[in-house]
């Protein structure tokens, strides 16, 4: 069994899911591809999220690590997983700040375990930043253009 490299449920500060939080061992992408029974995996910025596509059915938790908030590769990784139909928990971990929350939410993250706990009020305001959005993304929100052209 590979070493658990993930966050624990009590490190999760925000979660937008109803299901039971998983507390399984989290493994690296390499380990996940080699090992048929892992249900939780952590993606580092340099990992190719598409390597996980064959295993999405068995995964219940994907953590995407942001060692530095300004390394934006994790946003693409998140959308790629959602576009491939992944419906399990997608957790942003690491250097996650208030000002990243609204974009992360749009890219499909539904749980957040920031290194440093965030001010609840600031975070609530951040999650609500955009009443409307311009682009289609993983959250499937109707865009401004969609609304403009509604019959």
Establish if 83 lies at the interface with other proteins (CB under 8 A). Answer: yes
Interface residue with other proteins among 2, 25, 102, 115 (CB under 8 A) is 102
Name which of residues 50 to 79 contact other proteins (CB under 8 A): 69-73, 75-77, 79
Residue closer to other proteins, measured from CB, 11 or 139: 139
* DSSP secondary structure letters along the chain: -----S--GGG--EE---SPPP-PPEEEHHHHHH-TT--EEEE-TTS-GGGGGGGGGG-SEEEEEESSTT-THHHHHHHHHHHTT--SEEEEEES--GGGHHHHHHTT--EEEESSPPPHHHHHHHHTS-SS-SS--TT-PPPHHHHHT--
Establish if 135 lies at the interface with other proteins (CB under 8 A). Answer: yes
Interface residue with other proteins among 18, 20, 57, 149 (CB under 8 A) is 149
Interface residue with other proteins among 1, 20, 57, 147 (CB under 8 A) is 147
Establish if 124 lies at the interface with other proteins (CB under 8 A). Answer: no
Establish if 116 lies at the interface with other proteins (CB under 8 A). Answer: no
């Amino acid at each position: 069994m590979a070493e658990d490299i993930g966050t624990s449920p009590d490190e999760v500060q925000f979660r937008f899911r109803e299901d039971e939080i998983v507390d399984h061992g989290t493994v690296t992408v390499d380990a996940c591809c080699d090992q048929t029974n892992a249900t939780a995996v952590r993606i580092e910025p340099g990992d190719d999220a598409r390597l996980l596509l064959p295993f999405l059915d068995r995964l219940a938790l994907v953590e995407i690590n942001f060692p530095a908030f300004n390394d934006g590769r994790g946003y693409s990784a998140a959308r790629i997983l959602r576009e491939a139909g992944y419906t399990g928990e997608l957790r942003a971990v690491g250097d996650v700040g208030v000002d990243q929350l609204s974009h992360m939410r749009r890219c499909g993250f539904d749980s957040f375990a920031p290194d440093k706990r965030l001010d609840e009020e600031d975070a609530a305001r951040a999650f609500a930043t955009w009443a409307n959005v311009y682009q289609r993304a993983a959250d499937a929100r109707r865009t401004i253009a969609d609304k403009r052209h509604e019959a």
